[in-house]
Homo-oligomer: A and B are copies of this chain.
Amino acid sequence: MSNTTIDDVAKHAQVSRATVSRVLNDNHRVDEKLRERVLEAVRVLGYQPNHVARRLRAQSSTVIGLIISDIQNPYFLSVIRGVEDEAYANRLSIVLCNSDEDAAKQQLYLQVMESEHVAGLILVPTSSVDTGGIERLRRVGIPVVLLDRNVNGLLADVVKVDNVRGAFDAVQHLIDLGYRRIATLAGCSHLSTGSERYRGYREALASAKIPLNETLVKYGDYKTESGYRLTHELMSLPQPPDAIFAANNMMTLGALRALRERNIHIPGEIRLVGFDDMPWSGELYSPLTSVSQPTYELGQEAVRLLRQRIIQPDAPFRTVTLQTSLVVRESSGAALAGRR
């Protein structure tokens, strides 16, 4: 219960507390003898500076906020890891929140971040429109970096992947393999990732002069259940698709489950390509062809942008777009095509 303060150290070293502070932050010349006395006192007393007091006085924080939209999605594991590593390397701590794709919860956490006076915030927004909450943070001097998703008309740095290109490549891959009835489990249209990936899908079809077939487009909510349900719907069509492009990892899992239930063989009877590669994608029921995102780098880059912004609050805002890569495994039927 006994917390030693800077005054205890000062008393023990027989100096003023200003001197102690100066020694610990070494931003000022201090006599070598005094310095040693202070360091000795710190050691003896086991003194740990109180970050809370320091934050209040210096108005500078070493804590950054991280609001994730769905912490249960393995996609974010590697993102968080990237953020954590980069933060650790720069002696920053992380306050983590999970908005659970809930705008109200996000709003609450934005307020918490403001109250906590974090040095900056990395946000995976729940929606592509801001009702003022994010903008407010910027106004009170807390820089925000958006991760994964965009928010329309917001002045902020953004780190994301090239979703259009990623989806395009995935669908193009299926087209190259000779499939024409390509369905998609599309993501939420109120998220930039959803609309961008859908656009990539459409563009790939268009570039191959395949007309868009609305019955093959199913909108999900990025959750496993929706992928499962919509895949059942797709396969119940009078003319089911011969390939499916799923716009995220969870819906892909749902699709896998549905197809397994129906005893539909992948890649024999249907082909499947997902978005987001996972460490165990190769160990799945049908090793999964998928669009791999550089998730770790995404998190890393977000912290870098944030640090830059903290140093130079008025620099022009940047959008860093990382490239995806298509990892081809068996589920897309590439091996079949080879054998033909």
Identify the A interface with B (CB < 8 A).
1-3, 46, 48-53, 55-56, 61, 63, 66, 71-72, 74, 77-78, 80-81, 84-85, 88, 93-98, 105, 111-112, 114-117, 136, 139-141, 224, 253, 256-257, 260, 279-280, 282-285, 287
Contact = CB atoms under 8 A, between A and B. Distances in A.
A-B residue pairs, 8 tightest by C-beta: A96-B96, A51-B115, A1-B141, A256-B283, A84-B98, A52-B55, A52-B56, A283-B285
Nearest to A98: B84
A140 B95 contact: no
B116 A93 contact: yes
Contact of A80 (B71, B78, B279, B284): B71
A108 B141 CA distance: 29
Contacts of A56: 50, 52-53, 56
A279 B225 CA distance: 12
- Determine which residue in A52, A96, A97, A116 has the highest number of CB atoms from chain B within 10 A of its CB, and name it: A52
A63 B95 CA distance: 9
Contacts of A98: 81, 84-85, 88
B280 A253 contact: yes
A52 B116 contact: yes
Contacts of A51: 112, 115-117
B96 A84 contact: yes
Contacts of A140: 1-3
A93 B260 CA distance: 41
Contacts of A2: 140
A112 B93 contact: yes
